[in-house]
Amino acid sequence: MATKAGLKAAKAALDAGNYPEAISQANKVLNLDAQNYFAKLFLGRALDKSGKTQEAAKAYETATQIKPDDLQAWRGLEGVLESQGPAGVDEYIPVGLRLAEIYAAAEDAHRAQSSIDKLVDFACKHGTKAQYAKALATQLPTSPVYSFLEGRLPHPSLTYTRLAEITETSESELINRLIGERKTRLGARIAEVTSETRREVYQKSELEALYQNIIDWTNDDETRRGYEEKLLQRAYDLLVVLPMQEKKDKREQVMKLAHDMVIIKHPFLLAWRIEFEWKDG
């Protein structure tokens, strides 16, 4: 009975704009029932209205754990994170995706798509390149909502292409920055620094996988051929900087990529050079 009265008092205080009282009443209920979902909701709303966004986010997060399939807490958390701008991007992406999953489970395609569109736009506007890439991944076939939203989301080839472009730019900037920092070290040789830096970045890179996904998904022959060239070039570039003991598997991959291009008479000079100069190597 005390719990019901406390919830009623918290709701009345919220409606009246008396947020300190709403916080107090919600906490009284939580002292009696720490897992009370509505008390957490009221607490989150009152804290948010009071400008205490981090505390509000914690209240909503706890509420989502109590009822993971209920929209109210997720919507509240989404709103709090949205108000934080750049600081909220990392958490905003999984929250937006979870909302899309809940809408998909309810067969609400419009709201599910809107949730994905919203999180991608938010990350694009407020996030880093890496955060934007993470948001774009929610549109891919690997996303838990892709099968439900297929046809409503951008074609995978377009998303993979955007991810490849972001990754190319990020890696180029990273390599240039690291070389600039490392070449000033005592005894550093620019050729060795360049080779070591490229190897370090290329070995961690997802570009080859992204190029392959574009090749697999695109319906445009010209695009496919262009990314086949990019895939061969990146594989070759990594091969060049690998230590001798690690070259064998990469060399075989490069030779196969080149051979496949030569068979269809694709006019990419690197492929033809590899095919004829490495054949007996």
In sequence order, what DSSP letters do the residues of 103-169 get, joined into one string? Answer: HHHTT-HHHHHHHHHHHHHHHHHHS-HHHHHHHHGGGSTTSTTHHHHTTTSPPHHHHHHHHHHHHHH
Quickly state the pLDDT bin for 281 (edges 50, 70, 90): low
pTM: 0.90
**Segment 67-96 mean pLDDT:** 96
Mean pLDDT score across all residues of the chain: 95
Residue 185: its H or E element: none
At residue 280, the pLDDT reads 62
The percent of the chain in helix, strand and coil, each rounded to the nearest 5, is 80, 0, 20
224's torsion region: left (phi>0), alpha (psi -120 to 50) or beta?
alpha
Side-chain-side CA neighbours of residue 218 (13 Å): 20
**In the chain, what percentage of residues exceed pLDDT 90?**
94
Rounded Cα distance, 28 and 42, in Å: 12
At residue 184, the pLDDT reads 86
Q: Residue 223 carries which side chain, given as an amino acid letter?
A: T
SS3 77: helix
At residue 21, the pLDDT reads 95
In the predicted structure, residue 1 carries a pLDDT above the cut 70: no
**Segment 73-88 mean pLDDT:** 96
In the predicted structure, residue 279 carries a pLDDT above the cut 80: no
At residue 187, the pLDDT reads 82
Q: Distances in Å between the alpha carbon of 267 and those of 70, 222, 252, 259, 273?
A: 56, 12, 21, 12, 11
